[in-house]
Structure 1
Amino acid sequence: MRLLVALFMLLATPAAAVLCEDLTFQGNSYTICTVNAATENLRLFHTGQNGEVYGQFDAIQATLDVETLSFAMNAGMYHSDRSPVGLYQEDGAIVSQIVSSDGPGNFGLLPNGVLCINDDSARVIETLQFIESARQCRDATQSGPMLVIDGALHPRFIPNGSSKFIRNGAGTSPDGKTAYFAISNDAVNFHSFGLLFRDYLQVDQALYFDGKVSRLHAPQLGRSDFGFQLGPIIGVID
Structure 2
Amino acid sequence: MSPTTSEIEFELPSVRCSYCGLPPAPGREKAMKRCITCMLVTYCSPKCQKAHLECHLAVCHPPSAGDSSRYPLAWGVSFKDVPIHSRSGFESSRCLSSPQTRGWVCPATELIGIPLYIAPVENMEYASKKDLESICHYLMMDPDTGFSLDSWLCDPRHKETHYTAYHNGKHPLTPNTFETIVAFLKMIVETVSGLSPKDGWSPMRSFLTPEAFQLFSIQYWDRQRNASRTGWGELNHALA
Normalising by structure 1, we get a TM-score of 0.29
Q: Which one has a bigger Cα radius of gyration?
A: 2
TM-score by length of 2: 0.29
**Quick check: which one's strand share is greater?**
1
Tell me which protein shows more helix as a share of its residues. 2
Could you say which structure has the greater relative contact order, defined with CA pairs below 8 angstroms and 6 or more residues apart?
1
